[in-house]
């Protein structure tokens, strides 16, 4: 009765369009207040306090702020320029630039929608100018944006680490190879389908490419000399963490200070007068995430008291005790969940349910964290939730129908690479095993 009411109220509120944090909190409150045999309502307050009392969670608002400062401070523009210098002259070169720039920015912001907004606003107009169809450019940007939740610093990996009590440093390392693999996969899809996504009168002539390069040089004021200030951010963050200089949370603080210094005093694209709006936007984003974390704590506590994880585990093991088949079933479930629920809320709710199942089958919790994150990241590119899709439609000014049609080849590639991440554990565990 408790579990049915809890999930029933939650789903009803979701269908009514309430924010996920409110859905989690209100459903827990109703169960504790009105159903007999449940703990005292003070459980809600205690669980909320315990859920928010975590030092690693401090990294989330700091990384969000660092990403916002870098987006407003001109670092994303320099990253695009640096990517262009590396791969811009190949066939499908601008598509490669889009993907590579997204991966660079993902290693700074840790946010998938932020990556789409920052890189899309720079790349989609440039790609259209040289003959790429706008829906393809938007689809590529939306797909490449999900590397933001794999390549560290990843906010969903931080949430998983806190929820599953796993090392965030190990999770960051585990996400690097899958993130790079997804980026290379997108480049391959772009190369194979490029001729279908160019306007009939254009095949991206060398003259056009040279015109773009000259335009970028003029706009960016010599990015060849200055893009290093933007690209050094991931080196500072990851080098500091794995060199034992500071923790992931402290690394987030260092990233904020560095981003402010570069944006204000080196690039000078960010003004003191802009800081109010930067802090406000970062604060709103952080508050949304952290309220969700706090509210999900009491929700998860009720699930545990009602033995829901045990019931789900028993159900799955009755279907099969084969670890490969169990992982396949979990993948299918997570893909469906990712279509309808926000990534962070899904991680907080489902980790206590699914982690005991995979641990009993000998699956490494760090590997499973990457599996869960990749699964739910694909939800950024699938309707009806599809946060990346909606960001890309706004940036590119294309219809959702056009965008979904263009992103289908990339979704197929995502599923193939998801299976590789799931069934080849060393893709996730190789770096943690040799570096830690």
- Written as tens digits, the pLDDT of the chain (436 aa) is 677 888 888 888 878 878 777 888 888 888 877 777 666 677 667 777 776 777 777 888 888 888 788 878 877 777 777 787 787 777 778 889 899 988 888 877 777 887 888 788 878 888 888 788 999 999 999 999 998 889 888 889 999 998 899 999 899 999 999 999 999 999 999 999 888 877 765 554 444 455 455 545 544 455 444 677 877 877 888 788 878 888 888 888 898 898 899 888 888 888 999 999 999 988 887 887 788 777 777 777 777 777 776 777 777 778 877 888 999 999 998 998 888 777 887 888 889 889 988 998 899 999 999 999 999 999 889 876 788 888 888 888 888 888 989 999 999 999 999 999 999 999 999 999 988 6
Token reading at 8:
């029933």
172: burial class by Cβ within 10 Å (0-12, 13-18, 19+)?
Answer: buried
Count the Cβ atoms, other than its own, within 10 Å of residue 117: 22
**Pseudo-torsion of CA 30, 36, 39, 45, nearest 10°?**
20
pLDDT at 220: 46
pLDDT at 22: 84
Q: What angle do CA 388, 130, 216 make, to 5 degrees?
A: 80
Which DSSP string do the residues of 401-418 spell out, in sequence order?
HHHHHHHHHHHHHHHHHH
Residues 298, 353: Cα–Cα separation, whole Å: 14
Number of H helices, E strands in the chain: 21, 0
Q: Which residues pair with 198 in a beta bridge?
A: 132
Q: Which residues, in sequence order, are CB contacts of 432 under 8 Å at separation 6+?
A: 170, 173, 174, 366
Locate the domains of the chain by residue range: 55-435
pLDDT at 330: 92
Residue 139 in contact with residue 395, Cβ under 8 Å? Answer: no
Token reading at 278:
């930067």
Phi, psi for residue 247 in degrees, rounded to 5: -80, 165
């Amino acid at each position: 009765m408790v579990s049915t009411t809890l999930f029933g109220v939650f789903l009803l509120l979701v269908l009514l369009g309430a924010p996920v944090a409110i859905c989690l909190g209100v459903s827990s409150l109703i169960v504790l207040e009105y159903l007999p045999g449940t703990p005292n309502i003070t459980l809600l307050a205690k669980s909320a306090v315990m859920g928010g009392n975590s030092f690693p969670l401090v990294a989330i608002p700091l990384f969000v702020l660092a990403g916002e400062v870098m987006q407003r401070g001109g670092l994303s523009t320099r990253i695009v320029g640096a990517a262009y210098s590396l791969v811009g002259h190949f066939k499908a070169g601008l598509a490669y630039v889009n993907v590579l720039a997204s991966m660079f920015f993902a290693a700074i912001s840790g946010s998938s929608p932020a990556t789409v907004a920052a890189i899309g606003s720079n790349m989609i107009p440039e790609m259209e100018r040289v003959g790429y169809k706008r829906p393809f450019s938007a689809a590529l940007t939306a797909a490449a944006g999900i590397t933001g939740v794999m390549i560290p610093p990843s906010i969903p990996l931080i949430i998983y680490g806190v929820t599953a009590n796993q090392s965030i440093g190990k999770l960051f390392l585990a996400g690097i190879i899958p993130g790079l693999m997804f980026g290379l996969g997108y480049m391959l899809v772009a190369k194979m389908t490029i001729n279908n996504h160019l306007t009939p009168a254009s095949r991206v002539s060398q003259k056009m490419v040279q015109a773009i390069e000259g335009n970028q040089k003029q706009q960016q004021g010599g990015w060849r000399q200055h893009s290093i200030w933007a690209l050094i951010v991931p080196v500072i963050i990851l080098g500091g963490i794995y060199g034992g200089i500071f923790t992931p949370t402290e690394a987030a603080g260092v990233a904020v200070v560095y981003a402010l210094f570069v944006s204000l005093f080196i690039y000078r694209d960010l003004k003191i007068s802009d800081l109010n709006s930067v802090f406000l936007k970062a604060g709103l984003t952080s508050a949304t995430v952290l309220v969700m974390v706090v509210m999900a704590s009491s929700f998860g506590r009720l699930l545990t008291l009602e033995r829901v994880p045990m019931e789900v585990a028993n159900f799955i093991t009755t279907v099969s005790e084969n670890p490969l088949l169990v992982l396949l079933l979990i993948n299918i479930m997570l893909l469906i969940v990712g279509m309808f629920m926000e990534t962070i809320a899904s991680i907080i709710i489902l980790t206590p349910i699914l982690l005991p199942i995979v641990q009993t089958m000998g699956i490494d919790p760090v590997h499973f964290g990457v599996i869960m994150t990749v699964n739910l990241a694909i939800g950024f590119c699938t309707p009806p939730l599809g946060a990346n899709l909606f960001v890309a439609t706004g940036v590119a000014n294309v219809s959702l129908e056009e965008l979904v049609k263009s992103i289908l080849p990339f979704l197929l590639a995502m599923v193939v690479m998801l299976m590789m991440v799931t069934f080849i554990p060393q893709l996730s565990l190789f770096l943690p095993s040799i570096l830690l």
